[in-house]
Amino acid sequence: GEDVEQSLFLSVREGDSSVINCTYTDSSSTYLYWYKQEPGAGLQLLTYIFSNMDMKQDQRLTVLLNKKDKHLSLRIADTQTGDSAIYFCAESTSGGKLIFGQGTELSVKP
């Protein structure tokens, strides 16, 4: 069945780049997403990538997709303390449903 895996924790220093990795299993996924969840809040759609792309850049965010290896990454440049949150990778399935990874908790230290 479909499965999405992420590492659980990442700690970086303010100003460094953060790279959050994700692997997925459904090769038919049309879109892959990154969501951000701050404490006590819902999910904020950060960015998404269409499966026929291998890179997408949006300001400080860069998404890389290796479809052959079913590997997705999110790079945050110049990480700030406000970026501390849980980041979820998700893949789309039929009918618009999303399968989520476990979430990566990003901790940014000053």
Partner 1 sequence: SAVISQKPSRDICQRGTSLTIQCQVDSQVTMMFWYRQQPGQSLTLIATANQGSEATYESGFVIDKFPISRPNLTFSTLTVSNMSPEDSSIYLCSVGYRGTNEKLFFGSGTQLSVL
Among 21, 31, 56, 67, binds partner 1 (CB under 8 A): 31
Q: Is residue 51 a contact point for partner 1 (CB under 8 A)?
A: no
Q: Please report how close the Cβ of residue 28 comes to partner 1 at its closest, in angstroms.
A: 14
Cβ distance to partner 1 smaller for residue 14 or 37: 37
Asked if 92 and 33 count as a contact pair (C-beta separation under 8 A), the reply is: yes
Specify burial of residue 106 (Cβ count, 10 A radius: 0-12, 13-18, 19+). buried
Take residue 95 and report the two structure tokens written for it. 């009918």
Count of residues engaged in binding partner 1, rule: CB under 8 A: 22
Q: In the window 81-100, what residues touch partner 1 (CB under 8 A)?
A: 88, 92, 95-98, 100
Cβ distance to partner 1 smaller for residue 36 or 70: 36
Asked if 75 and 18 count as a contact pair (C-beta separation under 8 A), the reply is: yes
Q: Could you tell me which stretch among 13-21, 36-44, 54-62, 63-71 binds partner 1 (CB under 8 A)?
A: 36-44
CA–CA separation, 2 vs 45, rounded Å? 21
Specify burial of residue 8 (Cβ count, 10 A radius: 0-12, 13-18, 19+). exposed
Q: List residues binding partner 1 (CB under 8 A).
A: 30-31, 33, 35, 40-45, 48, 50, 88, 92, 95-98, 100-103
